[in-house]
Amino acid sequence: MPIALEMVLRLLLAAALGVAIGYQRERAGKQAGLRTHVLISTGAALLSLVSIYGFGAASDPSRVAAGVVVGVGFLGAGVILHRQGGIVEGLTTAATIWVMAGIGLAAGAGLYIIAVAAAAIVFGALIMPRWKG
């Protein structure tokens, strides 16, 4: 398979996993929905691809991955800092945004099974009923 086609497939996998998680968040009426999750996952995959293939053998792809994690952390912090009545909200949404970046990085790096498994775990965690114990 030509490398460009494989890169496109990696981006499409990241986007599809973003759709799956984002759709659940949107159905639950959360702040970050389908579009946000698709953008984060696809963007992370794109940055992963650029870091792996765009700068030649002398580059360190882990540096871009670290930057993605930090940058997306700021997005998540913005979600958490939204206060209503003195109660901090959005922790799950922030965590979902953060993990979507990881899933996108995995898809972009060609770790397909890891990306799909992580998305399945995240989806399972999001549809679990809340513990009221």
Supply the pLDDT for residue 84. 65
83, β-bridge pairs: 88
Closest CA to 28 of 130, 121, 131: 130
Supply the pLDDT for residue 80. 75
Supply the pLDDT for residue 59. 74
Q: Which two tokens mark 61?
A: 């792809």
Distances (CA, A) of 51 to 1, 19, 48: 20, 24, 5
Supply the pLDDT for residue 64. 83
Q: How confident is residue 83, by pLDDT bands cut at 50, 70 and 90?
A: low
Distances (CA, A) of 115 to 32, 91, 100, 107, 131: 20, 22, 9, 6, 27
Q: How confident is residue 72, by pLDDT bands cut at 50, 70 and 90?
A: confident
pLDDT in tens, 14-43: 999 999 999 999 999 988 899 999 999 999
Higher pLDDT, 107 or 74: 107
Residue with tokens 């968040």: 25
With beta carbons less than 8 A apart as the criterion, state whether 79 and 97 touch. yes
In this predicted structure, the answer to whether residue 133 has a pLDDT above a threshold of 70 is: no
Residue with tokens 């996998």: 13
In this predicted structure, the answer to whether residue 81 has a pLDDT above a threshold of 80 is: no
Q: Look over the chain and give the mean of its residue pLDDT values, rounded to a whole number.
A: 88
Supply the pLDDT for residue 73. 83
Domain ranges of the chain: 3-127
